[in-house]
Chains A and B, each alone.
Chain A
Amino acid sequence: MSAIDPVHLAGLVRRGDLRGLARALTVVENGGPEASVLMHKLYDPSPASRSVGLTGPPGAGKSSLADVLIAHWKSRGRRPGVIAVDPSSPFSGGAILGDRLRMQRHACDPDVFIRSMGSRGHIGGLASSTAQAAEVLAAGGFDPVLIETVGVGQGEIEVVSVADQTVLVLVPGLGDDVQMMKAGIMEIGDLIVLNKADRPGMDQLETVVRASLEFVREGRPVPQVVKCSVATGEGLEDLFSKLDDLLSSGRDFEAVRRGRVRENLLRVAAEQGTRFALELLERSYGIEKAVDMVLAGETTPYEIGERIAALSGRAPV
């Protein structure tokens, strides 16, 4: 079927064909050589579209914030795209993708594109193909592209390296100031949104968040803090204007772009390397055979690893 030819799909994406765009996202999500061809065709080292990461703990209101951000950007004549990631079950591999539920009022709008993704075993708060999916949306003319992470804990901060700007959403009642001292989540965020301002505990949350910002790493801009409530609408205008300012001017995008290209290159190389190494393992030992050998005490995983590495050095490029 021609619709799965990646070159053809890339053309459909560029022409703004929504079904083609959706198909392209599936190809990217499923990976493999077709995905490489498609991304090669759509690749743009200096995209005009901006991306915004939206991250925070489960239930912080990320999807509801996404919904009001879509409405805001629409009112400014923009065409927002959304990639919403939900966790896949480590047991069945299945997933309930429920972020869309909060944004479904935009479903029929041809100038809004919302796509849900399961994390598919990837850790870091995103799926392994989320960055590419965002690039596909950008190539399809969507701007900005919002990337909503799974509900995160303390260390899932991959979105920072994928999005141009990151919004960290926090809510009252998550813990004391020691939580805020921990490494990881509190070190990210170009904008920190304190959501559910109508709930008790807001003053305390604001105090500890602002206190934690006194220790922002040198040379790094201090994130702005916005208090709001999606439920009541309080503070949303402030959030919109601060975020739009960040998107239009806030950061040195040239430097960011170089870092992005570098990350992209490393990721693609690592993926190909992994596939190559596993193929070598399978061809030279057989995976189950190798397990048998280790169990029988004939060798160790480390020795096999070294042998695979030595073999790959002799492999034709």
Chain B
Amino acid sequence: MGERKIRILIAKPGLDGHDRGAKYIARALRDAGMEVVYTGIRQTPEAIAAAAVQEDVDFVGLSLLSGAHNHLFPEVARQLSARGASDIILFGGGVIPDEDIPGLKTAGFRAIFTPGASASEVVEFVEKEFEAGATAGTRA
């Protein structure tokens, strides 16, 4: 009792239906002992942020392969802020050109994983960020 589990929401904003990557990452995080809320494809930024608040997740991971990341990713960050939940750590993945990454980081994304990144890199990122947050006392 009293054990704190890492909770993560994995979602796909926008219109592409390619969810293999998202499901693969969800499973890898599960196998690393985390609780992964999977909300599926074609989610609006509002629905993703509302779900993240209700589920009280520590992280939101977005996957997008349609090219609309420069619009949809920052919109999720804005929706979280609007709900007083900007402490939730954001990361993203998908077909994202290198030149777009600095802009997404400015928008609040702590990490962007591009094709070729391994699942263990994502797990490691989450564990490290959670550890840092727990030490800083920002989360329960």
Contact = CB atoms under 8 A, between A and B. Distances in A.
Interface stretch (B23-31, B66-74, B114-122): B23-31
Interface in B67-106: 83-85
Given A100-B51, A118-B5, A271-B1, A94 B31 contact: yes
Given A1-B138, A4-B140, A118-B5, A96 B38 contact: yes
Interface string B1-32: 11111010000000000000000001101111
A32 B1 contact: yes
A92 B140 contact: no
B54 to A, nearest CB: 5
A89 B30 contact: yes
Interface of A is mostly: mixed
Contact of A92 (B26, B32, B137): B32
A75 B26 CA distance: 34
B137 A107 contact: no
Interface stretch (A22-30, A44-52, A219-227, A262-270): A22-30
Interface in B36-65: 36-40, 43-44, 46-48, 50-51, 53-56
A174 interface: no
Contacts of A96: 26-27, 30, 36, 38
Nearest to A33: B2
From B39, B44, B46, B54, name the one whose CB has the most chain A CB atoms within 10 angstroms.
Answer: B54
A287 to B, nearest CB: 16
A30 B3 contact: yes
A107 B37 CA distance: 13
A89 B37 CA distance: 14
Interface in A64-113: 88-89, 92-98, 100-101, 104, 107-108, 113
Contact of A100 (B37, B44, B85): B37
Contacts of A89: 30-31, 33
A6 B29 CA distance: 29
B85 A107 contact: no
B35 interface: yes
B34 interface: yes
Nearest to A29: B5
Interface string A49-66: 000000000000000000
Contacts of B39: 100-101, 104, 107
B140 A93 contact: no
Nearest to B27: A96
A111 to B, nearest CB: 12
A41 interface: no
A88 B85 CA distance: 26
A231 interface: no
B78 to A, nearest CB: 14
A101 B29 CA distance: 18
Contacts of B53: 18-19, 22
Contacts of B48: 107
Nearest to A116: B37
B112 to A, nearest CB: 23
Contact of B47 (A94, A108, A271): A108
A153 interface: no
A97 B4 contact: no
A35 to B, nearest CB: 8
A32 B51 contact: no
Contacts of B32: 92, 94
From B1, B2, B7, B137, name the one whose CB has the most chain A CB atoms within 10 angstroms.
Answer: B1
Contacts of A120: 3, 5
18 contacts: A18-B54, A19-B85, A22-B56, A23-B56, A30-B4, A31-B1, A31-B2, A93-B33, A94-B31, A94-B34, A94-B36, A95-B36, A96-B30, A107-B51, A107-B54, A108-B46, A108-B47, A108-B50
Interface of A: 1, 3-4, 18-19, 22-23, 25-27, 30-32, 88-89, 92-98, 100-101, 104, 107-108, 113-116, 118, 120, 271, 275
